Amino acid sequence: MSDNLVITIGREHGSGGRYVGEKLAEKLGIKCYNSELVTETALKSGFSENFIADNEEKKPESLLFSIAMAYSVSGSQPVTMRLFNEQTKVIKELAQRESCIIIGRAADYILREHKNLLRVFLCAPLEDRISRICKTDKLSPNEAEKIIRKKDKQRAAFISFYSDRKWGLASNYDLCINTALFGIDGSVELLEKCAQSKMK
Amino acid sequence: MSDNLVITIGREHGSGGRYVGEKLAEKLGIKCYNSELVTETALKSGFSENFIADNEEKKPESLLFSIAMAYSVSGSQPVTMRLFNEQTKVIKELAQRESCIIIGRAADYILREHKNLLRVFLCAPLEDRISRICKTDKLSPNEAEKIIRKKDKQRAAFISFYSDRKWGLASNYDLCINTALFGIDGSVELLEKCAQSKMK
């Protein structure tokens, strides 16, 4: 089994996971996989990038809907489950191939047997996340809050469906950071220190 | 309002909170309050140290029992609630008086308005915690596991009774550390760095 260092970053929506991941990757000289996972999964699975972006990190819809979907497309599994299985393969191959950072997608659970894993979770108070999403997505605070609540609910349901874990529970991670207190750069600095001690 | 740095350390039983707190206090040149809070609360409240040690960090017993207890002793509140109120006063006074570390006792919630607060939560996989408790308390693995599960359940119920928070949920803390991955010394080093940036 490979001993590449894989850093998985779970995150509350709007807590800055993307920025922390990208900056940390640059500091460590490794790649950060976020939307790149959509492209990689599309290449390997035949699903379109649009379909993946709309359906990843979600649990299957209601059972009846899933069954209907399953038989309307080839194969016997709901398509979201087939998508999860394809993305699982991509994530496992990445971990075998290189040291890297993987944002979301239950990678901490998928790679639970990986030898050199740093499982990170980023969070921040709701008001800070609203403020970030307002800026990045050019939304009103009300719209931003709605999206944040919806995304967090989807991620929690996704994790709970595919694993026996509760999303955001400290005991499922190695390090959880409030990015509002430490800032994006402060969080990166903290993680860089932890990662360096594991890359030695 | 004082801007003393107060570091609160919530912890899963057996994750090494006491050791991390004591070593960190030594490095930072401040005091760590753990069982010292029992003594301080006894001095201020008139409750005996034994009573406090047996009843702190617990929610009141069933309502009927609490009512019976309340009227069997002076005052109109269940005694465990009066104990919580007394310990709350002691914790608030400490935060006003000095920079310090406070282990458990819902101090993160009690001091939620304090300006310079670092809310830490320590956790570790069950097997590591069993191993630590076996050594420190000279217990068999079975006995250690029973005590760990009981303590964690009590702490979760205590926090949920007195606050609107879920014990161990990452979003209630600023930094959560898996002490099994970082070790006691590694965790202390990480926290020292965070604390120093806040003590400047």
Which residue is closest to B174 within chain A, CA to CA? A178
Q: Which of A102, A106, A113, A125 is nearest to A7 (CA)?
A: A102
The arithmetic mean of pLDDT across residues B15-27, rounded, is 98
Given a cut of 60, whether residue A189 has pLDDT beyond it is yes
Q: Is the pLDDT of residue A194 over 70?
A: yes
> A120 to chain B nearest CA, in Å?
10
Alpha-carbon gap: A41 to the closest alpha carbon of chain B (Å): 30
Query: In the predicted model, what is the mean pLDDT of residues B26-50?
Result: 91
Model confidence over B139-168: pLDDT tens digits?
999 999 999 999 999 999 999 999 989 999
A197 contact B CB<8A: yes
Using alpha carbons only, what angle is made at residue B15 by residues A175 and B143, rounded to the nearest 5 degrees? 145
**pLDDT of the residue at A19:** 97
Asked if A170 is an interface residue toward chain B (Cβ–Cβ < 8 A), one would say yes
Contact B176 A173 (CB under 8 A): yes
pLDDT-based confidence at residue A70 (cuts at 50, 70, 90): low
**Residue B123 touches partner A, C-beta closer than 8 Å:** yes
Q: What confidence score (pLDDT) does residue A58 get?
A: 86
What local confidence, expressed as pLDDT, does residue A84 receive?
Answer: 92
Tell me the per-residue pLDDT of A78-105, one tens digit each, with 9 for 90 and over.
788 889 999 999 999 999 999 999 999 9
Contacts 24+ apart (CB under 8 A), A190-194: A190/B190, A190/B193, A190/B194, A191/A7, A191/A20, A191/A24, A191/A118, A191/A120, A192/A24, A192/A27, A192/A28, A193/B190, A193/B193, A194/A118, A194/B182, A194/B190
- The residue among B6 and A196 whose pLDDT is bigger is B6
Query: For position B43, what pLDDT does the model report?
Result: 87
| B193: contact with A, CB 8 A cutoff | yes
The candidate with the shortest Cα–Cα distance to A100, out of A19, A186, A195, is A195
Do B171 and A12 lie within an 8 Å CB cutoff? yes
In this prediction, residue B145 carries a pLDDT of 98
pLDDT computed for residue A45 by the predictor: 87
CB-based contacts of B161: which residues, under 8 Å, 6+ apart?
A: B59, B60
Asked if the Cβ–Cβ distance from A173 to B178 is below 8 Å, we say yes
Q: Which two tokens stand for residue A113?
A: 């047997």
Check whether A75 has a pLDDT greater than 90.
no
Contact status, residue A8 vs residue A109, Cβ threshold 8 Å:
no
Of the candidates A90, A89, A88, A94, the residue with the CA atom closest to the CA atom of residue A32: A94
Q: Decide if pLDDT at A34 tops 80.
A: yes
pLDDT, averaged across chain A:
91
Find out whether A97 and A154 touch, Cβ atoms under 8 Å. no
Give residue for tokens 């000095």: B98
Give the per-residue pLDDT at B139.
Answer: 96
Determine whether the interchain pair B177/A181 forms a contact, defined as Cβ–Cβ distance below 8 Å.
Answer: no
Contact B93, B4 (CB under 8 A): no
| Alpha helices in chain B, H assignment, sequence order | 17-28, 36-45, 49-55, 63-72, 79-97, 107-110, 126-137, 141-162, 179-199
Assessment of whether the complete model's pTM goes beyond 0.90: yes
How much is the pLDDT for A60? Answer: 81
Burial annotation A162-190 (CB, 10 A radius, 16+ → b, else e): beebebbbbbbbbbbbbbbbbebebbbbb
What's residue A65's pLDDT?
60
pLDDT at A2 over 90: no
Give the pLDDT of residue A40. 87
Q: What is the pLDDT of residue B92?
A: 96
Provide the number of CB pairs (under 8 Å) joining chain A to chain B: 61
According to the model, what pLDDT value does residue A68 have?
Answer: 62
Q: Which residue among A119, A176, A193 sits closest to B175, beta carbon to beta carbon?
A: A176
Q: Provide mean pLDDT across the span A46-69.
A: 78
Q: How confident is the model at residue B5 (pLDDT cuts 50, 70, 90)?
A: very high
ipTM of the complex: 0.91
Residue B22 CA neighbour count, 13 Å, CB half = 8
- Give all strands of the β-sheet with A100-103 in edge-to-edge order: A31-33, A100-103, A6-11, A117-123, A175-178, B175-178, B117-123, B6-11, B100-103, B31-33
Q: What is the pLDDT of residues A154-174, one digit of tens each?
A: 999 999 999 989 999 999 999
Contact at CB, A171 and B197, closer than 8 angstroms: no
Query: Percent of chain B scored above 70 by pLDDT?
Result: 92
- Highest mean predicted confidence (pLDDT) among A64-73, A79-88, A170-179: A170-179
Q: Is the pLDDT of residue A196 over 90?
A: no
Write down the mean pLDDT value for chain B. 91
pLDDT of A72 reads 57
Residue B33 has pLDDT above 60, yes or no: yes
Query: B72-115 pLDDT, tens per residue?
Result: 555 567 788 889 999 999 999 999 999 999 999 999 999 999 99
Select the residue of A171, A178, A194 nearest B123 (Cβ to Cβ).
A171
Quick check: B196 contacting A, CB < 8 Å? Answer: no
Kindly determine whether residue A177 and residue B175, on different chains, have CB atoms separated by under 8 Å: yes
Averaged pLDDT for residues B5-31: 97
Give A197's pLDDT tier (boundaries 50, 70, 90). Answer: confident
pLDDT of residue B69: 59
d(CA A193, CA A185): 12
Q: What are phi and psi of A44, to 5 degrees?
A: -85, -30
Question: Averaged over B47-68, what is the pLDDT?
Answer: 78
- Taking CB atoms and an 8 Å cutoff, what residues of chain B touch A175? 175-178
